[in-house]
Structure 1
Amino acid sequence: MKKIIALVVLIVIAVVGWVVGKPYYDLHFSAGDRSQDYVLYIPTGSDVAAVSTIIDEDIMAKDKFLSFAEKLDYTDDKVEPGKYLIGSTLKNKEIIYALKNGNQEINDISITFNNCLSIEDMAGKVAPNIEADSAEIVDYIMDPATIDKYGFKEETMIAMFLPDTYEVGEWDMTAEEFVSFMAEKFKEFWSAEGTGRGSQLAELNLSQSEVSTLASIIESEQGVFQQEWGTIAGLYLNRVKGNWLLQSDPTAKYCWGDELKDVQRLLTVHMKKDCPYNTYLYPGLPPGPIRMPSKKAIDAVLNAESHDYYYMCAKPDNSGLHNFANTLTEHNRNARLFHQWMDSRN
């Protein structure tokens, strides 16, 4: 009888030990069965219940997470938005503390945007790396209040965003924070010591937006051989100073939107579309950039070559380079040779 009682007592002790000890062990010592690291995205405004649905079942079961969160005082007001790395060896307690204290938050977020034709294009490249989605970014940028705040116009707002790779820090960046960040980078670019951009701007007698506008045309005209940018910049500046028509094909093509997206050779009819960006119809620079110009293209304008060229025409050799001329007669000869070459290819 005593043996039976002793056995029952041992069983009771074992059961109580399991009931009491298992949760304690799970919380303080268990890392679950994770075989890999996980990345969690916790949006701004999340509460503990929301976090429990974000956490993958392979990291921690929802009921366990809620129980452990309560035990460790992880409450709604302590939920920090961000991008978190949950290592495969972290104990359950460490995961809760990591979310509570932010010590596993990833703070080396970078964004890259290059070769952007529009603000929408840029937003699509930025959004995957920060919390704000592309629609929020575009809507905030194009809000009249935002445009006015930074001293731009709707047509020139694109000039504030300089293509590059930037370290932004944390993932939970709003559209407003992103635009503020880019405004600072814009100021840094134009005021950087040793570049002479300020004095060059004054010498050209152009605004920053006008330089960006011309840079966007140059980059559209010559997207392969940057060594021509300085020459093309000087050519267009000669025309601007003389109040000439720039007669830039990319500006005429821009007026047609996506309709001429894949068209390489423009026809006379394409040059006749009435649009303020069409430099075949309106002299001087168009209202704003026709694409998001690179920093190199902007510097090419600021360091434009001084020469007497007023005309350019693609070379008849498929090289992608141009023949430049200072007289219409010389240009017409270059154009005739190019068109003869094009016709021979067809």
Structure 2
Amino acid sequence: MNLKKAVSVIAVVALLGAMVYAYTMYDKAFSTNIKGIDKETYIYIPSKVSYADVQRIIAPYVVDMDKFEAIAEQFKYSSNIISGKFLWKKGMNSYDMMQALRKNIPVKVTFNNQETIERLVQRLATQIEPDSLSLLETFTDPTFMEENGFTNETVLASFMPNTYEFYWNVSPLKVRNTMHKEYIKFWNEARLEKAKKLDMTPVEVAVLAAIVQKETAKNDEKARVAGAYLNRLRLGMLLQADPTVVFAKKKYTNDFDQVIKRVYLKDLGIPSPYNTYQNVGLPPGLIAMPDISSLEAVLDPEQHDYIYFCASVEKMGYHEFAATLAQHNINRKKYTDWLTRNGIE
């Protein structure tokens, strides 16, 4: 065989080899390699994991791990793992799957009116990577609380119910600071001036708003309820707010899972600074997270002479208001009789 033929043969063999390699890589990259997904699913890659950890996480969804690893090697993924939340869809190939693992998807974090800071962090920990302990330590950091005028009892005021967007692997500090920015944004000059006219601090407004929040779910009634409580405070009366007794009972028994539908006379004697049947003025902290409507109700209360109210049996979900104790006793008897008739304890 002459040299020219030898070169030609080598070239052909090399070309065939390249074609085989190209086809093999194409098959590894672009043939469907996903399973166990009806439509789509989310892959969660924790922080500081090894490539072996990632393999264990994705294994239930990968048809051929060798194919996936071949593409991962091309992307140098083992030394460049990104933590977070990632979307995989039905029919994806290894290339698509690897591309998806490079796109961290934001998480919409929501929470309602949690009763305690512990309940809040537990709720958040179900939606993002940081655990409840790390969140609690960051949220109740002594320096943070001192700089912003909070205590362990009032720091809940800094976290307002809303929908926030984070990456799943967000740091606890980022979560705290983002939420606190919303608190600062809410307390603009106009609202601070309204609080000042009430002779209240933003934290005190939040404490009262939390009681209003628990007292009524009707937004169109909150300003009237807030007005009644503010009238009591101005007169130096006991607030006598049933929601504070409920909170005191839960805290006293260390059971925030219990459902309390009715406050009995014996409950009014629970020894607690949160029991406003025993202690004049506001309780030392929030009994729940007030939403914006409750905060606004305290800042813009309805002007009236009512100082008493109890649940209405004629307009369910609302209250009957009274300016005198005599009228209140009539309204209260209607309600207690209704409770008894319906067997509500």
Into which bin does the TM-score normalised by the smaller protein fall? 0.7 to 0.9
Contact kept? 1:310, 1:326, Cα under 8 Å: yes
Cα deviation for residue 20 of structure 1 reads: 4.2
Match of 1:309 in 2: 306
Query: For 2:169, what is the secondary structure of its paired residue?
Result: coil
Matching residue of 1:68: 71
What residue is the counterpart of 1:210 in the other structure? 204
Alignment of 1:47-126 (within 5 A): 47-59=50-62, 61-76=64-79, 78-99=80-101, 102=102, 104-107=103-106, 109-126=107-124
Cα distance in structure 1, aligned partners of 2:41 and 2:317: 48
CA contact (8 A) 1:316 1:342 kept: no
Instruction: Report the more deviating stretch, 41-50 or 324-333.
Output: 324-333
Structure 1, residues 137-193: CA drift from partner, whole Å, max 9, x if none?
23432343443354311000111111122233x2221222111110111112222x8
CA distance 1:17–1:314, shift in 2 (3 Å): closer
Equivalent pair of 2:227/2:303 in contact (CA under 8 Å): yes
Residue in 2 that maps onto 1:177: 174
Q: Which amino acid aligns with 1:81?
A: S
* Aligned sequence identity (%): 34
Q: State the shift of 1:251 in Å.
A: 0.9
- 5 Å matches for 1:20-59? 20=21, 23-32=24-33, 34=35, 36-59=39-62
| Structure 2 CA distance for aligned equivalents of residues 42 and 341 of structure 1 | 55
1:328 aligns with 2:321: no
- Report the 3-state secondary structure (helix = DSSP H, G, I; strand = E; otherwise coil) of the residue aligned with 1:181: helix
Residue equivalent to 1:8: none
Q: Equivalents in 2 of 1:62, 1:171: separation in Å?
A: 26
Deviation string, structure 1 residues 251-271 (Cα, Å, up to 9, x no partner): 112111138933322222110
User: What's the counterpart of residue 280 of structure 1?
Assistant: 277
Q: Secondary structure at the match of 2:85?
A: strand
The unaligned stretches of length 5 or more in structure 1 are 1-11
Contact conserved, 1:26 with 1:92, CA < 8 A, in 2? no
Q: For 2:121 and 2:271, locate their aligned partners in 1 and report how far apart those are by CA, in whole Å.
A: 29
In structure 1, how many angstroms separate the alpha carbons of the residues matched to 2:202 and 2:112? 19
Structure 1 match to 2:236:
243
The partner residue of 1:199 within 176, 193, 217 is 193
1:232, distance to aligned residue in structure 2 (A):
1.1
The code of the aligned residue for 1:110 comes to K
Deviates more, 1:320-329 or 1:299-308: 320-329
* Cα deviation 1:3-28 (Å, max 9, x = unaligned): xxxxxxxxx99x97897456423344
Residue 128 of structure 1, CA deviation: 3.1
Counterparts in 2 of 1:278 and 1:31: CA distance versus 1, 3 Å: same
* Partner secondary structure for residue 266 of structure 2: helix
CA distance in 2 between partners of 1:110 and 1:237 (Å):
36
Equivalenced residue count is 325
SS at match of 1:179: helix
Q: Distance in 2 between matches of 1:97 and 1:219?
A: 46
Provide closer, same or farther for how the CA distance between residues 264 and 25 of structure 1 changes in structure 2, counting only shifts above 3 A.
closer
Which residue number corresponds to residue 228 of structure 1? 221
Tell me the amino acid that sits aligned with residue 84 of structure 2: G
Q: Aligned partners of 2:316 and 2:261: how far apart in 1?
A: 15
Q: Secondary structure at the match of 1:56?
A: helix
Residues 92/317 of structure 1: CA separation in 2 closer, same or farther (3 Å cut): closer
Question: Counterpart amino acid of 1:289?
Answer: L
CA contact (8 A) 2:40 2:88 kept: yes
Could you tell me which amino acid in structure 2 is paired with residue 122 of structure 1?
Answer: L
Give 3-state SS (helix, strand or coil) of 1:55's partner.
Answer: helix
Question: Where does residue 4 of structure 1 map in the other structure?
Answer: none
Q: d(CA) in 2 for partners of 1:293 and 1:146?
A: 21
Question: 1:90: how far off?
Answer: 4.4
In 1, the alpha carbon distance for the partners of 2:333 and 2:88 equals: 66
Q: How does 1:150-165 map to 2 (within 5 A)?
A: 150-165=148-163
Say whether the 8 Å CA contact 2:28–2:70 is kept in structure 1. no
Q: Hey, what's the Cα distance between the residues in 2 that align with 1:80 and 1:180?
A: 23
What letter matches 1:160 in structure 2?
S
Across the aligned residues of Structure 1 and Structure 2, the Cα RMSD in angstroms comes to 3.0
41-50 vs 271-280, which moves further: 41-50
Instruction: From the superposition, tell whether residues 343 and 37 of structure 1 become closer, same or farther in structure 2 (CA, over 3 Å).
Output: closer
Shift of the 343–30 alpha-carbon distance from structure 1 to 2, 3 Å rule, reads closer
For the 8 Å contact 1:111–1:165, the answer to whether it is kept is yes
Shift of 1:318: 6.5
